[in-house]
Amino acid sequence: MEYIIPPDVKRPTYGSQCKALTAAKKEYPHLKIVHSQVLQQVLKQLETAFVSMWERGFGFPRFKKKMRSFVFPQMNEKDIVGDTIKLPSIGMVKMRLSRPIPDGFTLKQARIVKRASGYYVMLSLQCDVNVPDVPPHGEPLGIDVGLLSFVATSSGELVKRPRFFVDTQSQLKLLQRRLKRKKKGSKNWRLPHPKNSFIARTYFQLKKGLAF
């Protein structure tokens, strides 16, 4: 889908789009189900994309697929009670914290993300600290990611590619070959556990392995 702004139309701004959103809610009542700040956050992201196009030479903002994440921009520490988090317009939702929130940090916003393995909540915290300047020390070390070796350093050390990458890559190739033989949209392509979901989970495992 492509949309071209006519030359005689003013540039869309966050304010003008908020007015358009208010009118859209009357025409599409289901928009009222979503919390207003979540919708406004999307408009802010769109305005950032427009500004990047006009002032930084980026391309025209493209229409995205169904969003896999959304943001609640105004949260506070009272919204987390034990192993639950209170989300506006949704209510209390059980969660498992990967690590406890440190003392002195305040909760600012929460992003809900849908991934292959489930739903995640990414918490943005704030803490006012003074970071001291650390003077450089030790010898500098150059690191290069290569093809034959996973990592090569300027000191001559070579790090082999992690085994999990080889195993996951082989599994990924097999799943992609199986999916390629299926007719897109067919019953076999839309199984209760479709191959494309397997592929998405494999990509997630690969990404998670590289991160840790």
From CA 93, how far away is CA 83, in angstroms rounded?
9
Secondary structure letter of residue 109 according to DSSP: E
**Is-contact 47 17, C-beta < 8 A?**
yes
pTM beyond cutoff 0.75: no
One-letter identity of residue 148 = L
Look up residue 112 and give its DSSP letter.
E
Q: What is the pLDDT of residues 6-43, one digit of tens each?
A: 777 788 888 998 999 999 999 999 999 989 999 999 89
**How many C-beta neighbours within 10 Å does residue 43 have?**
18
Inter-CA distances, 192 with 62, 99, 138, 188, 198, Å: 31, 33, 56, 9, 11
Other CB atoms within 10 Å distance of the CB of residue 21: 15
CA-wise closest residue to 1 among 62, 47, 53: 62
Among 138, 150, 139, which residue's Cα sits nearest to residue 209? 150
Give residues with Cβ within 8 angstroms of 31, minimum separation 6: 21, 24, 25, 39
- Residue identified by tokens 């090569």 is 152
Summarised one tens digit per residue, pLDDT across range 55-98 is 888 888 777 666 678 899 999 888 998 889 999 988 999 999 88
Tens of pLDDT along 112-158? 988 877 889 999 999 988 888 888 888 888 999 877 788 889 888 98
From residue 61, alpha-carbon distances to 39, 50, 116 in Å are 17, 7, 26
CA 195 – CA 202 distance, rounded (Å) = 10
pLDDT at 104: 86
